[in-house]
């Protein structure tokens, strides 16, 4: 266990940023803290860096490799931190920015000038910016600045690398490139890394494990597959997006959506409770005729088949709103749907969350 | 871009409408503004110099090298030499505390810093007279029958230590009126720059002093110099507060502005203007330095933006 947070509480006035958060990160792991704004993810990261301190120091703990650092200030924690807006020292060159962490060390532990130069040059090679050492931060692009911020954090050989929205301020293409680069970099140097993001795609693509935060609590933590395939709550399902919501009612062993009843895989024992069924767009089958009993009638509103998958926008005939279906190209060509015609949909994998019940069901 | 390549031409009409004032109106407004400036700013300045040299260059230098003038210059330099560095340190400390930390009474501190701007300098001087004068707390303490620290009262009495009508009072008054200059200049800048760079330095292992000298200070360099220039100009030219506490003893407690008044009261107009030209020179130098610093600052901003 390289980083462990136990039971941390943090409040800013009346706002609760962290509500008894506990988190364990294995050595060498790349973990994403994912959540909407205000969910406490940045506060958690700053707390690990030592820029914020928990409100309950008696009950809470922060451990680096088993060593209690709860009351140790940021300057002695040996964490590397890259800020959302980079926070590069604007009056220093790229080279001096990266060298800063080494130069401010006390004389006894400061490496000699020659070694500092060698280390900085090695880092400049690592971030692929070798010739740009003498430049100033103002003369760099956003992506370059972010890489310098990373190199500066890595220069002090941190026990933990903390990145606050590392790609937040960049445009889409640079973002994708840098994402891939970060993953490669992590595979090369294997430093335990936590990064904050509000972009689910980014978290699922880059991280070994993803922690989803909501209102100061960790809602679920797991590998990207686990999170995507088995969301622990309706919030996680909703937040990860790419999902259709069907509201209905649970009646004993079935869920009723519109006028159609779908059988549940287990008995709920509940009498008539509000419930929401979550269905991913690729877990829906579309047919021309109402073959089985459990099909919903819908009207085709729009179809677009650009790219490897075809998207259908459908409107429920029972007035329950719109939903999206994803078909492979073959399925799409087989079906040949036309705008305005009526089709019948079958829900293949469904997760039902009942608001008043502690248990969740699948169909 | 060639006109053919643009797909959208903004309508010309509204722009022309903004400039529809007839030529004579524009010329009238401009000449009004210029003649106002000439009459109230340039003319008096020119008058100072013509009067100063009215009795020839010999008399001008004789006025400046007069022992009383020389003592006024020395006293002004002394008061400024103490007030400006002190306010520089205080201003940076206050601005740092206000911009980078949250604490109780932050707004009170902000208001207190502005106090010397909002209070009349004469009142500021009077406060010092009330506190440190012969009838004030200091006088009562030294003359008390059983003071708290008898040795201190005795020593003060023996040294004939005085604040009012003496150099310490002048220094205190000068410090008081110049408190806001440096702090006011730095606070908005430091607030705009935020705490991120300092936090980054801390995480990288820098101590508080290292963070200040290596990160904060270089970022506020130009604003600090600008504040010091303004503070210096005000410290040298201060009249009101200093005139209350000085007692105007010639050769002892007269600063340059007080000495000018004394010469003028003696009907020595040329001498008064000769010394006044010193302050006018100082004003011109201040303006020059101010423009240069603003230029440097703008250049720095420009390199930051052009990326």
Please provide residue A354's backbone torsions phi and psi, each rounded to the nearest 5 degrees: -95, 130
Q: What is the pLDDT of residue B7?
A: 46
A358 pLDDT more than 80: no
Helical residues (DSSP H) of A221-358, grouped into ranges: 224-229, 234-240, 329-335
Nearest CB partner across the interface for A138, out of B202, B215, B304: B304
B6 pLDDT more than 60: no
Q: B196: nearest CA in chain A? A: A87
Nearest CB partner across the interface for A49, out of B203, B210, B307: B203
| Residues of chain A positioned with their CB less than 8 A from the CB of B197 | 87-90
For residue A266, give the nearest of A254, A283, A278, A251 by alpha carbon: A254
**Distance from the first to the final alpha carbon of chain B:** 22
Confidence of residue B3 (pLDDT cuts 50, 70, 90): very low
Q: CA angle at residue B299 from B298 to B300, to 5 degrees?
A: 90
Return the SS3 of B13. Answer: helix
Q: What would the DSSP string read from start to end of B81-135?
A: HHHHHHHHHHHHHHHHHHHH---TTHHHHHHHHHHHHHS-HHHHHHHHHHHHSTT
Residues A160-172: tens digit of each pLDDT: 999 999 888 788 8
Q: Please identify which residue in the block is written with the tokens 């610093």.
A: B293
> In terms of C-beta density within 10 A (0-12 exposed, 13-18 middle, 19 or more buried), how is residue A9 classed?
middle
Question: Between B46 and A267, whose confidence is greater?
Answer: B46
Q: Please identify which residue in the block is written with the tokens 């009474």.
A: B105
Least confident of B217-221, B271-275, B292-296: B292-296
Q: What is the pLDDT of residue B27?
A: 92
* Distances, alpha carbon A358 to alpha carbons A233, A268, B28, B86, in Å: 10, 11, 82, 67
Q: A88: nearest CA in chain B? A: B197
Q: What is the pLDDT of residue B257?
A: 93
Q: CA angle at residue A316 from A311 to A319, to 5 degrees?
A: 145
Query: ipTM for the complex?
Result: 0.80
Residues A56-105: tens digit of each pLDDT: 989 999 999 989 999 999 999 989 999 988 999 999 999 999 999 999 99
Count the neighbouring beta carbons within 10 Å of the beta carbon of residue B270. Answer: 16
CB B75 within 8 A of CB B254: yes
Helical residues (DSSP H) of B159-268, grouped into ranges: 167-193, 196-203, 208-211, 217-237, 240-246, 256-265
Residues A123-156: tens digit of each pLDDT: 999 888 999 999 999 999 988 999 999 999 999 9
Q: State how far the Cα of B216 lies from the Cα of B199, in Å rounded to an integer.
A: 11
Most confident of A254-258, A290-294, B167-171: B167-171
Contacts of B233 (CB under 8 A, 6+ apart): B282, B283, B286
Interchain proximity B204–A83, CB inside 8 Å: no
Within an 8 Å CB–CB cutoff, is residue B101 touching chain A? no
A359 pLDDT more than 60: no
> In terms of C-beta density within 10 A (0-12 exposed, 13-18 middle, 19 or more buried), how is residue B300 classed?
middle
Stretch A240-264: mean pLDDT: 83
Residues B179-197: tens digit of each pLDDT: 999 999 999 999 998 889 9
B10 pLDDT more than 70: no
- Give me Rg for the CA atoms of chain B: 26
Residues B100-130: tens digit of each pLDDT: 888 888 899 999 999 998 999 999 899 888 8
Q: What is the pLDDT of residue B189?
A: 92
Least confident of A5-14, A266-275, B273-282: A266-275
Q: What is the pLDDT of residue B4?
A: 41
> In terms of C-beta density within 10 A (0-12 exposed, 13-18 middle, 19 or more buried), how is residue A311 classed?
middle
Q: State how far the Cα of A160 lies from the Cα of A64, in Å rounded to an integer.
A: 8
User: Full-prediction pTM beyond 0.80?
Assistant: no
Confidence of residue B286 (pLDDT cuts 50, 70, 90): confident
Nearest CB partner across the interface for B202, out of A74, A80, A89: A74
């Amino acid at each position: 266990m390289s980083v462990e947070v136990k039971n941390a509480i943090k409040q800013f006035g009346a706002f609760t940023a962290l509500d008894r958060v506990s988190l364990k990160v294995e050595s060498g792991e790349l973990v994403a803290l994912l959540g909407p704004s205000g969910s406490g993810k940045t506060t958690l990261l700053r707390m690990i860096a030592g820029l914020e301190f928990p409100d309950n120091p008696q009950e809470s703990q922060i451990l680096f490799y088993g060593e209690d650092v709860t009351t140790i200030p940021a300057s002695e924690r040996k964490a590397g931190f890259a800020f959302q807006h980079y926070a590069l020292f604007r009056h220093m060159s790229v080279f001096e920015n990266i060298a800063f962490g080494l130069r401010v060390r006390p004389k006894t532990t400061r490496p000699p000038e020659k070694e500092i130069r060698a280390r900085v040059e090695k880092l400049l090679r690592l971030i692929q910016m070798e010739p740009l050492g003498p430049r100033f931060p103002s003369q760099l692009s956003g992506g370059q600045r972010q890489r310098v911020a990373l190199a500066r954090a890595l220069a002090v050989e941190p026990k933990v690398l903390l990145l606050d929205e590392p790609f937040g301020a960049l445009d889409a293409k640079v973002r994708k490139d840098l994402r891939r680069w970060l993953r490669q970099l992590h595979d090369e140097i294997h430093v335990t890394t936590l990064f904050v993001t509000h972009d689910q795609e980014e978290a699922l693509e880059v991280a070994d494990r993803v922690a989803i935060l909501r209102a100061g609590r960790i809602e679920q933590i797991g590998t990207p597959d686990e999170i995507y395939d088995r969301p622990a709550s309706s919030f996680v399902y909703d937040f990860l997006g790419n999902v259709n919501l069907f509201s209905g009612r649970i009646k004993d062993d079935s869920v009723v959506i519109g006028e159609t009843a779908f059988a549940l895989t287990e008995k709920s024992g509940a009498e008539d409770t509000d419930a929401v069924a979550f269905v991913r767009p690729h877990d829906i089958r579309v047919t021309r005729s109402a073959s089985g009993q459990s099909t919903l009638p819908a009207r085709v509103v729009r179809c677009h088949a650009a790219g490897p998958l075809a998207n259908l926008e459908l409107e429920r005939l029972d007035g329950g709103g719109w939903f999206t279906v994803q078909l492979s190209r073959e399925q799409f060509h087989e079906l040949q749907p036309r705008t305005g015609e009526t089709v019948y949909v079958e829900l293949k994998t469904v997760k039902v969350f009942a608001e008043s019940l502690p248990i969740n069901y699948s169909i | 871009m060639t006109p053919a390549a643009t797909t959208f031409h903004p309508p010309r009409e509204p722009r022309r409408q903004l400039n529809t004032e007839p030529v004579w109106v524009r010329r009238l407004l401009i000449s009004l503004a210029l003649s106002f400036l000439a009459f109230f700013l340039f003319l008096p300045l020119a008058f100072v110099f013509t009067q100063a040299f009215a009795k020839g260059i010999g008399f001008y230098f004789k006025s400046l090298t007069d022992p009383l003038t020389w003592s006024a210059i020395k006293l002004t330099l002394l008061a400024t030499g103490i007030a400006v560095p002190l306010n520089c340190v205080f201003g940076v400390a206050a601005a740092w505390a206000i911009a980078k930390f949250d604490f109780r009474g932050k707004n009170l501190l902000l208001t207190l810093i502005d106090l010397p701007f909002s209070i009349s300098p004469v009142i500021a001087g009077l406060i010092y007279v009330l506190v440190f004068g012969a009838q004030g707390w200091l006088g009562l303490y030294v003359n008390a029958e059983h003071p708290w620290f008898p040795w201190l009262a005795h020593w003060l009495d023996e040294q004939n230590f005085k604040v009012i009508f003496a150099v310490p009072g002048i220094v205190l008054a000068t410090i008081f009126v110049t408190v806001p200059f440096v702090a006011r200049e730095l606070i908005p800048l430091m607030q705009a720059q935020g705490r991120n760079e300092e936090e980054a330095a801390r995480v990288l292992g820098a101590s508080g002093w290292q963070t200040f000298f290596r990160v904060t200070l270089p970022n506020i360099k130009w604003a600090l110099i600008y504040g010091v220039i303004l503070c210096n100009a005000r410290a040298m030219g201060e009249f009101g507060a200093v005139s209350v506490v000085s007692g105007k003893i010639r050769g002892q407690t007269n600063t340059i502005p007080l000495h000018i008044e004394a010469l003028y009261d003696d009907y020595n107009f040329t001498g008064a203007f000769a010394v006044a030209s010193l302050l006018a020179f100082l004003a011109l130098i201040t303006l020059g330095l101010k423009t240069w610093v603003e230029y440097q600052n703008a250049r720095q901003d420009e390199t930051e933006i052009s990326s």
